[in-house]
A and B are shown apart, each in its own frame.
Chain A
Amino acid sequence: MSSIDVPLRNGGFGNTMRKDSWWVEPLLVFCGFAAFIVYSTWAALQGNHYTFGPYLSPFYSPLLMTEKPGWWPAFVPFSAAMLILWAPGGFRFTCYYYRGAYYKAFWADPPSCAVGEPRKSYWGERSFPLIIQNIHRYFLYLALVFIVILALDAYRAMWFDGHFGMGVGTLVMIVNPILLGCYTLGCHSLRHLVGGRLDEMSKKPARKQAYDCVSCLNRKHMLWAWLSLFWVGFTDVYVRMCSMGIFHDVRIF
Chain B
Amino acid sequence: MLKISNLSVSVENKLIINNLDLEIGEGKKVAVMGPNGSGKSTLSNVISGKPGYNIKEGSIKFEDTDILKINPDERAAMGIFMAFQYPVEIPGIANSSFLRTAINSIRKKNNIEPVNTRIFLEELNQIASKLGLDKSFLSRDMNEGFSGGEKKKNEILQLLLLKPKLCVLDEIDSGLDIDSLKVISKGISEYSNKKNSMLIITHYQRLLDHVIPDEVHIFNKGKIVESGDHDLVKILEEKGYKEFS
Q: Do A and B bind each other?
A: no
Instruction: Using CB atoms and an 8 Å cutoff, list the residues of chain B in contact with chain A.
Output: none
Instruction: Using CB atoms and an 8 Å cutoff, list the residues of chain A in contact with chain B.
Output: none
